[in-house]
Amino acid sequence: MRTTFLKKKKYLPYIFSLLVVVNSFAVFAQDEDPLLDDTESVLNSEQIDVDGTFRKKTAADRIEEMRKKLEQQNEEMVDKKIENIRMQEEQKLTKKLQKAFDGQMQALDEQPVEVQQAAPAPAPVVAPVVIAPPPAVEEKKEEPNLIKIIPSFGVTSISSDVVDYETKLNLGISLDTMLNKYFALGIKFNYSSMGLTEGNQSPFGINYNNPTYFPYYGYGYAQHYGDVREIKYKQLAFGLNGRMFLSANSKIKPYLGLGLLYNRVSLNYNDKNNNPYSYNSIYYGDEGYSSSYVSALLAVGSEISFNEMLGMILEVSYAKGLSSGFNAKSDAQSGYKNPDQVKLEKYGQDIEEADFITLGAGFVIGF
């Protein structure tokens, strides 16, 4: 009996150590985390499949299910945070766009505009307000008139090596066609007239006071016509006229012009006494001279537009004969023996070689 007790006494230290370890496990189990308790409950729970069969999940299956549940909760929380941030940014953008829109409307209309804002709905998703830019105002392009009628008037100075003349009447009209907005081509007509008086002395030395020509005039010439006979000059010109505009998109359009004209000139005496006079078989009263020549024209001017249909021009032009007179005709029956007829011919030839400077103005009628 004593021997048995001694043998049992030999195992007491081992038994005491085992009790301490078991007690530690019990205390540790009481202090566990609630999350671990949930995990433990999932691991220890039994599940039944959809088809009704009982299947006990393994610990790995339960842990996998718990992990997926936690990931889903985390994703939902992140999505909610992102949605809140997006709504805040959209609200800020909406306020900025609303202020910009109010500023544009105030610039168009000086009266203040009240913007009534609707009550926000619970948890609204505010879409950004897109403000369309104001429509671009298309600038109306002024198209040039295809056809222009230009009546004009002015004064012409005729300068030659012998004398200077100035016309009393200078009228013209042009019919222009616009090839484009910079070039115009047209037909020009012009009529001018003037009266020439030479006094007692002729620039060509032909008058009854000259002893050389007195035998052709006689004493009765001065009594019949007076001191001098007035010469009447007429000129009709027509031809082609071109203009190049230096500016086409403004109200005032300066231009350069070139032309080629055919001129028909006539000269005769404007006698108050229409009764003829004769001396030494020389017949006076039917004198006349006419001829034709070609001249070139250079012009500088400006066209001023009042509206699409009306305007005016201001122009300075220079013309010079390119040929001597052709188709010349003398009307006097006495021919070269009549000194007044010779005088008309010399005046006509002098004018054909003269320089023509015209200062003119006119109206522009467009179609």
Q: How many angstroms separate the first and last alpha carbons of the chain?
A: 150
The residue written with tokens 């299910």 in the block is: 65
Which pLDDT belongs to residue 308? 84
pLDDT > 90: percent of the chain:
30
Q: What is the pLDDT of residues 266-287, one digit of tens each?
A: 999 988 767 888 888 888 888 8
Mean pLDDT, residues 77-83 taken together: 88
Which pLDDT belongs to residue 27? 41
Angle 181-183-184 (CA atoms, 0-180°, nearest 5)?
A: 105
Please give the C-alpha separations between residue 146 and each of 184, 186, 240, 307, 328, in angstroms, as whole numbers: 9, 11, 17, 15, 39
- Helix, strand, or coil here: 158? strand
pLDDT band at residue 69 under the 50/70/90 scheme: confident
Mean pLDDT, residues 258-265 taken together: 95
Q: What's the chain's length in residues?
A: 367
Which pLDDT belongs to residue 136? 59
- 185 and 255 in contact (C-beta within 8 Å)? no
How far is Cα 323 from Cα 300, in angstroms, rounded to an integer?
24
The listed range with the strongest mean pLDDT (99-108, 223-232, 297-306, 319-328) is 297-306
How far is Cα 154 from Cα 254, in angstroms, rounded to an integer?
19
- 168 and 193 in contact (C-beta within 8 Å)? yes
Query: Which of 255-259, 306-310, 331-335 has the weakest average pLDDT?
Result: 331-335
pTM summary value: 0.57
The listed range with the strongest mean pLDDT (86-100, 162-176, 245-259, 330-344) is 245-259
- More confident position, 290 or 3: 290
- CB proximity list for 167: less than 8 A, separation 6 or greater: 155, 156, 157, 158, 192, 193, 194, 233
Mean pLDDT of the residues in the chain: 78
pLDDT band at residue 22 under the 50/70/90 scheme: very low
Residue 113 backbone phi and psi in degrees, to 5:
-110, 125
